[in-house]
Amino acid sequence: MILFKRKTLLISFFIVLLVFSMYLMMSGNYPKVIYRDTNVPDAEEVSTLNPPDSESVSAKNGSEKDFFVDYRLERDRLRSQEADYLREIINNPNASQESKEKAQKDLIALAEKVEKEMNVENLIKAKGFEDAVIILSGDSANVIVKSEGLSTKEVAQITDIVTRTTGLSMEKITIVERK
């Protein structure tokens, strides 16, 4: 009974997460590139202007630098939980054959998604970008690139990589800059 409640809770969580991410993706115009505000001073400038707050500024600056690492760690943790849940279904002797087959297909799809994301991220880095993460969700992709400003050529390069690797059309891709 407890195992059933846990599975139901996990499934409900993933469904809510999927619906929320689809809502966020559908609420914008595709393709789009989000540029950061260039009028906002850098953390170094703020710390020289306001010395008493330099600790909080440097802490914030440190967390900004770790965004890509933190995101990957959290994504890997959630994927690991999802994979464990699917393996539990596959190995459960009380589960129906139908649910075991669906869990196997979902596990294979998860592995393929992980591989696509890793390939896109590495190809973007190979083009000379410092770092990037991609979020594949259903039939769309969000790419977050570490950049001071993307040129039209760079946007085209990133879009080309994502379309070739994932098979998604250009209007299903959002590119976000992050310093």
Q: Which amino acid is at 24?
A: L
Per-domain boundaries in the chain: 2-178
Fold for 2-178, please state it: Helix Hairpins (1.10.287)
177 phi, psi to nearest 5 deg: -90, 145
Q: Could you report the per-residue pLDDT of 140-151, keeping only the tens digit for each?
A: 999 999 988 888
CB of 35 within 8 A of CB of 52? no
Predicted confidence band at 21 (pLDDT cuts at 50, 70, 90)? low
Judge whether residue 73 has pLDDT over 70: yes
How many CB atoms lie under 10 A from the CB of residue 14?
14
Q: Could you report the per-residue pLDDT of 151-161, keeping only the tens digit for each?
A: 889 999 999 99
